[in-house]
Amino acid sequence: MPALHDPAASRARTLTIESVGAQGDGRAKENDIWVSVPFTLAGERVRVEGAGERLTLLEILEPSPERAVPVCRHFGTCGGCTLQHMAPAPYAAFKRDLVVRALKSRGLEAEVAPAWITPPASRRRATFAARKTGKQVAFGFHARRSHALVALEECPVVRPALAAALPRLREIAGFLLPAKDEIALLVTETASGLDLHITGASPGVTALARAEAASAALRAGFARVSIEGADVLTERRPSLPAGGASLYPPPGGFLQASAEAEVEMERIVREHLKFATSVADLFSGCGTFALRLAAESSVLAAEGNAAAIDALKASVRAAHGLKPVTAEVRDLFRNPFGARELARFDGIVLDPPRAGAAAQVAEIAKSRVSRLAYVSCDPATLARDLRTLVDGGYRIVRIHPIDQFLWSAHVEAVALLEKTP
């Protein structure tokens, strides 16, 4: 392949796309080197330019029959979606294949169900960015592979309440932005209204500016505003349904992005653990699974984030009719539950961050817990950890791909495992 500084390397030329890669870009071979071309599909002949492994799409010469018309005017510029050009059936197959490929990379075979796809306009939380340039506030999502911001006029992924709040969010951000700084605004639709958590605000932002931002949020009907984890204004306590209980998230606390995806994950997990009388919920967050499982089982919830555990305890105190729930702060990366500690449980649900749960999984593999539901947001670390569990005597019953980040290259999965004593 020509050297990157060679002017000829960036000339326009024609390629045939062979497949869609794990990041959602089309993949082609050029001079025996794999290159990626965004917004393309397998089988398409395209005209490209550029050098290196990432090329720029100039024209689609022969489109794939699997191509769809993007639904958003910002597609191709905004970095939020990468696959709106793929028709629904191949899109679902692509999501499932991400999980299958990850399993194969670890020498694993298992039943993988068809991917469950979240509907449009269902994402209940999203993180927007804001930056001040002169007197103007740029607000929206980052452009693809760029620090530039795309000013959003619409977003077909998020709930209508979030889309309608975009002008107000831009106004609120303006009070907290000194020149050149960028802040992040995480907004969540809850049963009580919108919950806003702001990070990246400069320490130099005055108390008056914070009060003006909170006042603007109050006028807009927001339930709560918090900055860097500290509550600035609570008009109504944010709450989310969690089975028969209510979950009260802490400022900026982790939640599933789609309520519909959360309900589907809960259905799969509860069905698998329905005969368990005592369940360990590891990496529990603020209680997404624990509160639901406690309708039928006693639950021990463990999580390294103290604010999440405090929120879970508050949710348990406010609930009625639950089985006993014990919640503790514990760093499961450095201090995982040992096989002997796990002996009193007959079910485990595991929902770690993207890094997976290597240390905790190693202990589970040595345990005699009969049923395990592993909820993963990264197929690669899921496959790594499943290899450990299978080598420890577990059998993969089934894996359910869950697509809650619509039109992205991201997929989650719920893996169900059993161990026979």
How far apart, in whole angstroms, are the C-alpha atoms of residue 420 and residue 393?
A: 8
- For residue 376, the Cα-to-chain-centroid distance in whole angstroms is 10
Buried b (16+ CB within 10 A) or exposed e, 291-327: bbbbbbbbbbbbbbbebbbbbbbbbbeebeebeebeb
- For residue 55, the Cα-to-chain-centroid distance in whole angstroms is 27
Residue 282 structure tokens = 């590891």
- Give ∠ CA 348-95-186 in degrees, rounded to 5: 70
How far apart, in whole angstroms, are the C-alpha atoms of residue 62 and residue 315?
A: 56
Q: Using DSSP bridges, classify how beta strands 395-403 and 116-117 pair: parallel, antiparallel or unpaired.
A: parallel
| CA dist 237 → 229, 247, 267, 316, 360 (Å) | 15, 10, 27, 15, 34
What lies within 8 Å, CB to CB, of 238 at 6+ separation is 188, 190, 191, 192, 193, 195, 223, 224, 248, 249
Q: What are the DSSP E strand ranges found in 240-321?
A: 240-242, 245-247, 278-282, 298-303
Other beta carbons less than 10 A from residue 56's beta carbon: 13
CA-CA-CA-CA dihedral for 88, 94, 99, 104, to nearest 10: 150
Buried b (16+ CB within 10 A) or exposed e, 334-348: eebbebeebeebbbb
Find where tokens 């927007």 sit: 128
Residues in the chain: 421
Sign of the CA dihedral with 162 first, then 164, 168, and 173 last = positive
Q: Catalytic residues, which ones?
A: 377
- Give ∠ CA 266-229-232 in degrees, rounded to 5: 115
